Structure 1
Amino acid sequence: MVPVGAQDAPSGGAGTKAPEMSLGPIVITGTRTERNILDVPVRTELITAEEIDLTSSLKLADIVEYQPGLRVESNCQNCNTSEIRMLGLQQRYIAVLTDGMPMFSGLAGVYGIEQIPTGTIEQIEVVKGGGSTLYGPNAVAGVVNIIPKKPTHTHVRLDSQYSFMEGDQSGTRPNTDLTGVFEHASKDQKWGVLAYGLQNYVQGVDVTEDEFTEVTRRDLYGGGIRLTYDPSDSVAIAFDYLITNEERRGGEDDEALGIPANEAFTTEELKSTRHVGIATLKHSVSENFDYQAGLSLAYTGRDSYYGGVAVFGHPDAGVNARLATRFPGVAITAPIAGWTPGLGFGETENLLTTLDISANSYLTDSHTLTYGFQTRMESIEDVSGLGRTVDDQYDNFGLYAQHSWIMSEEWEVIWGLRGDKHSKVPDPIVSPRAAVKFSPGADLDWRFSASTGFRAPEVFDEDLHIANVGGEVEVVTLSPNLTEERSLSFAFGPNWRIDKQWTFDGSLFYTKLSDTFLNDPSTDIAGTPVIESTKINSGSAQIYGVELNLSYSIGNYAAEIGYIEQRSEYGSPQLLIGEPGNAVDNPIFSEAFERTPNRYGVMKLSYDNSQWAGYVAGKLTGRMSAPHVNSVPTTGAQINNTLDVSPNFFVIDIGLSHTWALGDHKDLTVSFAIKNLFDEFQDDLDNGPYRDAAYVLGPRFPRTYFAGLTLEF
């Protein structure tokens, strides 16, 4: 995170009125106008390309977890589904954008943050708090907006990173993360191209030594291109395209990762393809008016398998003999009635299309009006092979308007309205928003914001993931009576630039959810290998807390520390797992959100003199509770359900790099890092084929060693 005021502001680009010139980088996400980060009334945080390089973070998931209030968590022991949690709210409440346009469809959110390379990113803007007024449904918790690089010269960058995780490896192939970026711009700077390719391989790792993976084997490759064309100083056109192909497999390890999925004891296998295309136009018609238009298409296709012999059995005697030899004393499930070779296999297709057109009218030096419309169409077809079929279309049309009023040198007010008509909601929804900045002095700002938003009754990423739980698989369907979830958010806090070295900022935050979405396990049908849960509305919930950040920089040294204390609570205890009245599958109720820490913390010390760079970073994850299905490891017979509480986790990462200038604009950088230095990892994970794979808490990976090589010319 960049300390506010630590950079000089770059000049404004095409398609916008030139912002005020003062210390601090330029951001756009909070208001849809280019503003200095010091001046914008909506609190915005920034992750720079320099910070990405310093921490050797080659994927989006790797860098955002160094941001205060953001946590990247794994939710499955078998397939390592990963998502961002912002101030206690999951990724389905967050709008993840590229250049202000959506890039994640409902399905892509399951694994997408591990598929976005950072080598093409100029900066990442983070706005915490409701963003639905400008960005529509699903921006309840906030916005993560990726600003891509604009080609400015001829440049090649090649990154190679090799890593090794502690634990039993499922093969000899090394973990690799390779990225190549080619950048070129014409001499007159009118057009440019940025092309890139990526490859990432992670070996399956068994941490608990039970012959089942905790780290999923993952093989990802892809590439993309960014084209820019500025026919004049007032017009900027850009086109981005990204394609990724990924295969991931987890569960029974070693040679079992290469056999047919339904012959493994327990396994999850996913093969996905993503295509993302984004086209944008920015046009500054005059000093008093500019507009921009964007069109994005995001397609995700997935072939999946969830299950294994522990869930469905297998009629082949050879399959059962192999398992009996490898796992003596472990019961092998008999084939269920109606067993077929296709049981557990599924296919999913998901297409999201978004058109967004907005304009800014600079009425006077003090008044700016922003207005526009956004239409969003999403289709999803999912055949799971487990009796669930989804074939649906979601359409949303939104109109929005926002007024920015600079009342004086001390006061600025932003207020706006958005109206949405969603195909699954009978009536239009109006979402107001307001933000106020008060600056009693040149070095102190107070910001207050209030916003509303909603989430429509749609199929989201977590609904399309099928969890292996104690020898059964859990499938989620939507209740026919499901209605939209509403939100109301407030935030208030200071930004104090104490002197040239020290900066302090903080925030009190509060969000109330009405008609909260929750998976109801009481709809399960007894006697089947599938747990049938139903997504319902379950009353209210609230998330509240305080965030404090302090940063210091002098010369080549920088230090940051951030801490968040928060609570995430339902209005009344909710049923998380189990069945009322059942002594074995006993009900577990909780008022606290599951798998949601009550505190977060980050700290980082860094040094960078352009030749040597190093950092020490710490990430605190507080206690959290999670439901746990306890089963006999050798038979899968359920013992009971419990609500278990994790300890605090404090992960230390360290890194060091050295850059050699080879002459003629050529640089070679060698880097080394150890992440999770003291191997903070969950120590009560379930073992064996009948484990509760959803009982996952704490850091995503065990101690991991990295070595990297970067060549630029």
Structure 2
Amino acid sequence: MRKILYFILLLSAFTTYTQTNSIKGKVTSNGEALPYTNVYLKRSTLGTSSNENGFYLLKNIPNGKYTVVISSVGFKTKYIKINFSGNQHIVRNFSLSEDNSLEEIVISGTLKPVTKTNSPVPVEVYSKTFFQKNPTPSIFESLQNVNGVRPQLNCNVCNTGDIHINGLEGPYTFVLIDGMPLVSGLSTVYGLTGIPQALIERVEVVKGPASTLYGSEAVGGIINIITKKPANSPALATDTFVSSWGEVNADIGLRYKLSEKTQGLLGVNYFNYPNRIDNNKDGFTDLTLQNRISLFNKINIKRKSNKAFTIAGRYVYEDRWGGETDWEREFRGTDIKYGESIYTNRWETFGTYQLPTSENINFQFSANGHYQDSYYGTDAYDAKQLIAFGQFIYNKQFKETHDFTLGIAYRYTFYDDNTFATFEEDGITNKASVTHLPGVFIQDEISLNKNNKLLLGARLDYNSLHGSIFSPRVNYKWNSRDNSDIFRLSVGNGFRVANVFTEDHAALTGARKVEFDGELDPETSWNANVNYVKKFYPENSLITLDFSAFYTHFNNRILPDYETDSNKIIYANLDGFSVSKGISLNTDITFLNGLAVNVGATLMDVSITENNIKTRQLLTESFSGVWSISYKFNNNFTADYTGNVYGPMRLPLLGENDIRAEYSPWYSIQNIQVTKKFNNSWEIYGGVKNILNFTPAANSINNSSNPFDVGIDTEKNPELAFDPSYVYASNQGARTFIGLRYTLF
């Protein structure tokens, strides 16, 4: 009898154990299959993705009540509750609707994946679809249609630049790839090109200091480029276009499998522009000639514990030059013909490893090397930079009210060049700069109730050259029950340790002598930001208004002084203070008839106060506006009209006798594009860029006929000196383009 009872219990246990369930079906949008959509059970490790035809299968589900989540970037997430009670095999199809408001998962504001609505830090999210409305050869140019973000050219000759956020220069913008600090320092000038756009999933933008989480340089804001996951990528994606100026750009993304547990994603970007065009007749190339190739590889390793392990790498080589149209390679570094020639070699590696512990602990790491061999006329600039970074992040949920994060970070920076910036006090002996930057940060996201959140954070870093630096922040968020109203308030402190030659291309040009006025101390700033989001749901449309007001106060700010001596660029800590303040408004309107409108405007005042005298910052507009208007005639044909407009900027002049205008004019760059989709794989697109054919004044490069100042006393007559630092927009005029995209799922 005992054996029979034991057998019944064993059989019962076996039957209970084998009573697993499954759910399968197809995911579509507007009647078309939606591949690589995430389908998972909330608060579990069970999940899958739909295949290239939109079909999914989720099996081995234990009995219980679950919430099935169906999500894909660019589409509204769907939640379905299902009760599995034993050996159920459910067939359920899902249809997702497009979400132009991009209510998706973001990580940049808190270092944790949260929905955009739930983030206490305002994060703007832009999908690859947004950037495809105005295709460009680099992410640097793609950001020109983001409100409050402006790609700024820093040189009329070599066309390098940086990204301004709310009027703050490029060194205040921290650029990340998959959350890792890779594009910074020396690469701020050159590192935003060569990122294969075929691999970009989305771009997250945070405006305002983020030093509490990301440390030095994250003062003006961060741009986080999120690449695709290998499992969610198509087997092959290509995007190639050419322009009437002769530009050729090719992007390739390839998914591959090394084993059952190892998937990879390979990306290649190639850009070439070989034509010497001089439409403004100043004797110099209007657009820098470039030859660039970038290789990207990302590997995801599936572990038994389902914990993350991702490693990636990128290599970039670029050869660019600009100058007199008859310049040749043999003139490099000579005074025969003026040219600026830059060879750049750069490698990067980064990844995330989730420790095999019961607690949620991630180790994130990155390293990069940047090597530059360049000549600016006769002035050589050779530089080498190595950066290694690592951090442990511990995340713990206490009850349902506290989401706690603790991090320990370390950053090593090696920098060496052939300028006086790395000389010993004797001015002769070279000494490379080595900086150690250990730090610890902590934050607690407190859910006061369903409608109120409070985020408290602080960071303490120790710079081996400058000592301890403390940066706290406070974020508050309120939302209505239906999330149609969201209010955010942010207050934080930022800091930045500067190396002028790694960040400001104007310092490299041979046209002016560079001087440091004393030791450069770290900059500090306090920032306050108010953000309000309102959503309306009128019939047949969705309207989102996003309003922000910002204020940043700087101490010890480091600014280039072009005006004290027109033959020099003098760098020093500001003896006073600087303020950046303004308001911005974004409007998204989506109609069911296929029309989508995005309009944004930023009004700001960026000033410098020294000796009780307030002046407007150079190369900073007081007003900027962007727009994107798209109409989908059917599922296969789309028209896009994009553009921007900028108010006047104060420009650097060579004294009171300089004949060039002190302020730039109002100007607008506008583009139009049409796209024809033949099926799920093929797309052809084309259009016109800069349809108004705007270019700066022909005399922007001062005295371009005498670039080596032969026979000129520039001390007595500074206005006669050669000067390419007067630049605010590209000299590239109107041009047509045509491109082809192919996707193999």
Q: Which piece of structure 1 moves more, 530-539 or 685-694?
A: 530-539
Q: Which residue of 1 aligns with 2:396?
A: 361
Correspondence for 1:36 among 98, 108, 115 = 115
Deviations 1:337-374 (A, max 9, x none): xxxxxxx2231111111112111101122210011011
| Superposed displacement of residue 467, structure 1 | 4.9
| Distance change in 2, residues 1:20/1:33 (3 Å) | farther
Within a 5 Å distance, the mapping from 1:231-242 to structure 2 comes to 231-232=303-304, 234-242=306-314
Corresponding position: 1:164 with 2:178:
no
Partner SS state of residue 47, structure 1: strand
Amino acid at match of 2:244: F
| Distance change in 2, residues 1:187/1:354 (3 Å) | closer
TM-score (norm 2): 0.79
Q: Which residue of 2 aligns with 1:323?
A: none
Q: Which residue of 2 aligns with 1:66?
A: 145
Corresponding position: 1:307 with 2:386:
no
Contact 1:367 1:403 in 2 (8 A): yes
Corresponding position: 1:420 with 2:490:
no
Amino acid at match of 2:465: K
Q: Which residue of 2 aligns with 1:338?
A: none
| Distance change in 2, residues 1:403/1:356 (3 Å) | same
Provide the C-alpha distance between the structure 2 equivalents of 1:38 and 1:396, rounded to a whole number of angstroms.
34
Provide the C-alpha distance between the structure 1 equivalents of 2:278 and 2:350, rounded to a whole number of angstroms.
39
Corresponding position: 1:710 with 2:741:
yes
Within a 5 Å distance, the mapping from 1:296-445 to structure 2 comes to 296-308=366-378, 344-384=379-419, 391-426=432-467, 428-442=468-482, 443-445=484-486
| Distance change in 2, residues 1:372/1:16 (3 Å) | farther
Q: Which residue of 1 aligns with 2:60?
A: none
Corresponding position: 1:591 with 2:622:
no
| Superposed displacement of residue 653, structure 1 | 0.9
| Superposed displacement of residue 144, structure 1 | 0.6
Contact 1:58 1:119 in 2 (8 A): no
Corresponding position: 1:625 with 2:625:
no
Corresponding position: 1:697 with 2:728:
yes
Provide the C-alpha distance between the structure 1 equivalents of 2:411 and 2:737, rounded to a whole number of angstroms.
41
Partner SS state of residue 139, structure 1: coil
Correspondence for 2:666 among 648, 663, 669 = 648
Aligned positions, number: 628
| Distance change in 2, residues 1:141/1:658 (3 Å) | same
Provide the C-alpha distance between the structure 2 equivalents of 1:243 and 1:13, rounded to a whole number of angstroms.
38
Q: Which piece of structure 1 moves more, 456-465 or 93-102?
A: 456-465
Q: Which residue of 1 aligns with 2:295?
A: 223
| Distance change in 2, residues 1:51/1:453 (3 Å) | same
Provide the C-alpha distance between the structure 2 equivalents of 1:201 and 1:14, rounded to a whole number of angstroms.
47
Provide the C-alpha distance between the structure 2 equivalents of 1:494 and 1:373, rounded to a whole number of angstroms.
33
Amino acid at match of 1:553: T
Q: Which residue of 2 aligns with 1:678?
A: 692
Partner SS state of residue 118, structure 2: coil
Q: Which residue of 2 aligns with 1:180?
A: 252
Contact 2:688 2:736 in 1 (8 A): yes
Within a 5 Å distance, the mapping from 1:224-623 to structure 2 comes to 224-232=296-304, 234-254=306-326, 256=328, 259-282=331-354, 289-308=359-378, 344-384=379-419, 391-426=432-467, 428-442=468-482, 443-459=484-500, 461-463=502-504, 466-468=507-509, 473-476=511-514, 478-499=516-537, 501-520=542-561, 531=568, 533-555=570-592, 556-572=594-610, 591-608=615-632, 609-623=634-648
Q: Which piece of structure 1 moves more, 264-273 or 377-386?
A: 377-386
| Distance change in 2, residues 1:51/1:98 (3 Å) | same
Provide the C-alpha distance between the structure 2 equivalents of 1:616 and 1:590, rounded to a whole number of angstroms.
39
| Superposed displacement of residue 474, structure 1 | 2.8
TM-score (norm 1): 0.82
- Between the aligned residues of both structures, percent identity stands at 24
Deviations 1:482-521 (A, max 9, x none): 2111010001121111115111010010000011112346
Contact 2:372 2:382 in 1 (8 A): yes
Contact 2:155 2:505 in 1 (8 A): no
Corresponding position: 1:195 with 2:195:
no
Deviations 1:515-558 (A, max 9, x none): 1112346897x9xxx84634334321000000111111123321
Partner SS state of residue 198, structure 2: coil
Provide the C-alpha distance between the structure 2 equivalents of 1:463 and 1:51, rounded to a whole number of angstroms.
29
Amino acid at match of 2:486: D
Amino acid at match of 1:493: N
Contact 1:107 1:461 in 2 (8 A): yes
Provide the C-alpha distance between the structure 2 equivalents of 1:154 and 1:639, rounded to a whole number of angstroms.
59
Unaligned 5+ residue runs, structure 2?
1-33, 47-66, 70-75, 78-102, 422-426, 708-721
Provide the C-alpha distance between the structure 2 equivalents of 1:397 and 1:647, rounded to a whole number of angstroms.
46
Contact 1:599 1:622 in 2 (8 A): yes
Contact 1:107 1:464 in 2 (8 A): no
Cα RMSD of the aligned pairs, angstroms, is 3.0
Q: Which residue of 2 aligns with 1:94?
A: 173
| Distance change in 2, residues 1:697/1:523 (3 Å) | closer
Contact 1:517 1:538 in 2 (8 A): no
Partner SS state of residue 262, structure 1: coil
Partner SS state of residue 625, structure 1: coil
Partner SS state of residue 702, structure 1: coil
Unaligned 5+ residue runs, structure 1?
1-6, 166-173, 309-343, 575-588, 631-637
Provide the C-alpha distance between the structure 2 equivalents of 1:228 and 1:602, rounded to a whole number of angstroms.
37
| Superposed displacement of residue 704, structure 1 | 2.5
Provide the C-alpha distance between the structure 2 equivalents of 1:358 and 1:700, rounded to a whole number of angstroms.
46
Provide the C-alpha distance between the structure 2 equivalents of 1:239 and 1:14, rounded to a whole number of angstroms.
26
Contact 1:105 1:350 in 2 (8 A): no
Q: Which residue of 2 aligns with 1:577?
A: none
| Distance change in 2, residues 1:538/1:256 (3 Å) | farther
Q: Which residue of 1 aligns with 2:95?
A: none
Provide the C-alpha distance between the structure 2 equivalents of 1:134 and 1:680, rounded to a whole number of angstroms.
40
Q: Which piece of structure 1 moves more, 209-218 or 697-706?
A: 697-706
| Distance change in 2, residues 1:652/1:432 (3 Å) | same
Amino acid at match of 2:686: F
Contact 1:10 1:25 in 2 (8 A): no
Deviations 1:324-343 (A, max 9, x none): xxxxxxxxxxxxxxxxxxxx
Q: Which residue of 2 aligns with 1:326?
A: none
| Superposed displacement of residue 16, structure 1 | 11
| Superposed displacement of residue 65, structure 1 | 1.4
Correspondence for 1:118 among 197, 221, 224 = 197
Greater Rg, structure 1 or structure 2? 2
Deviations 1:235-278 (A, max 9, x none): 11111111111111111114546643414432211111010111
| Superposed displacement of residue 457, structure 1 | 4.2
Provide the C-alpha distance between the structure 1 equivalents of 2:188 and 2:164, rounded to a whole number of angstroms.
12
Q: Which residue of 2 aligns with 1:340?
A: none
Partner SS state of residue 503, structure 2: helix
Higher relative contact order (CA 8 A, sep 6+): 1
Contact 1:16 1:283 in 2 (8 A): no
